[in-house]
Amino acid sequence: MNPTTALAFALLALLLAGPVPALLSRATWPYRAPRAALVLWQAIALAAVLSAFSSGLAIATELLVPGPDGRPTTAPTAEIDALGLPLWIAYVVVLALTLLIGAKLVFSIASVGVRTRRRRARHRMLVDLLDQRDPQRGRNSNLRVLSASEPIAYCLPGLRQRVVLSEGTLANLQREEITAILMHERSHLRARHDLVLEAFTAVNEAFPRVVRSKSALGCVQLLVEMLADDSALKVTGPTPLARALVACSGSSAPVGAMAAGGPHTLTRIKRLGGDGNDLQLAAAAYLASVAILVVPTIAVAVPWLVELSRLFRG
């Protein structure tokens, strides 16, 4: 590896963390292939992390320049003599920033996971206490009903899952509409969409604000809602689901929960009346996801394999 490789990976990481997500967030084709688009978003996020680390590793190899005896330098003084103080400082700073991003990513994953699960546990205890259903009727199910006149519908993911509705939801919605809402929320629980959102939240917090995209997390949230809509659509059809979404559009949910309504409700309802998912768009998005992950990986692996082969031959 060389400084050019490190620079290429650094630029790729910056592009995948900022401009590329910004462009993708303005596209409308993901609405016709939400699952493939979600995979593409995940590939972009993972490739951005890998590229950032690859840049740091490339710089790290430059610190181990051959000394007078031809062996890699492993002492700072020898590295300074071989590289010069200004270049050595620049390499060390880049390597330190890479390690800092890695440490921040690990910390973000842990803190987001712990924080989210604590909030869910507290809220789960509250909805269990406030449940208005008859204890003799299906107490073992994960459905909980709150005493509220406005339509409310959300789910609490995790090992002890809950689907929470309000009395207003049961009173104002018809049977098919209630079925649509239940299918929507249980699709979130079954597919563990919460883990996808946690991962994007952690990556979003790990990258510096000046380079990360502000819209990536919001787009992923919209896509997982569309995936849940598709599951409900197969059971009830578009009309009951659309009516249920309109009724619950103003409902709120605690942090860590996943509500049926939200700011993107109108976009989701319009999508229900569209042409449906496009297999060609999905295939193209899957191919793009593979390319985004494979190309940087090969670019990293090949130079390392070459260096290892030289080491073993020596």
- For the chain, the domains span 3-313
SS3 144: strand
Position 69 confidence tier, pLDDT thresholds 50, 70, 90:
low
- The pLDDT assigned to 204 comes to 78
- The average pLDDT across 75-102 equals 79
Per DSSP, the residues of 110-141 read: HHHHHHHHHHHHHHHHHHHHH--S-TTTTTTS
The mean per-residue pLDDT over the stretch 215-220 comes to 86
Q: What DSSP element (H or E) covers 149?
A: none
Q: Give Cα 240 to chain centroid, integer Å.
A: 30
Structure confidence at residue 80 (pLDDT): 77
pTM: 0.84
Average pLDDT over residues 275-285: 91
Residue 30's nearest CA partner among 289, 295, 205 is 289
Q: How many CB atoms lie within 10 A of CB 285?
A: 23
- Write out the two tokens for 28: 């409308």
Residue in the block written with tokens 């049926």: 260
Please state which of the ranges 63-67, 112-116, 121-125, 237-241 shows the lowest mean pLDDT.
63-67
The residue-averaged pLDDT of 194-211 equals 81
Name the helix (H) or strand (E) containing 143: strand 143-146
Q: For 288-313, what is the mean pLDDT?
A: 71
What average pLDDT does this structure show over 91-116?
85
Please give the structure tokens belonging to residue 11.
Answer: 């630029």
pLDDT tens profile 126-141? 999 998 876 655 556 8
User: Nearest-CA neighbor of 102 among 38, 13, 40?
Assistant: 13
Burial of 298 (0-12, 13-18, 19+ CB in 10 A): exposed
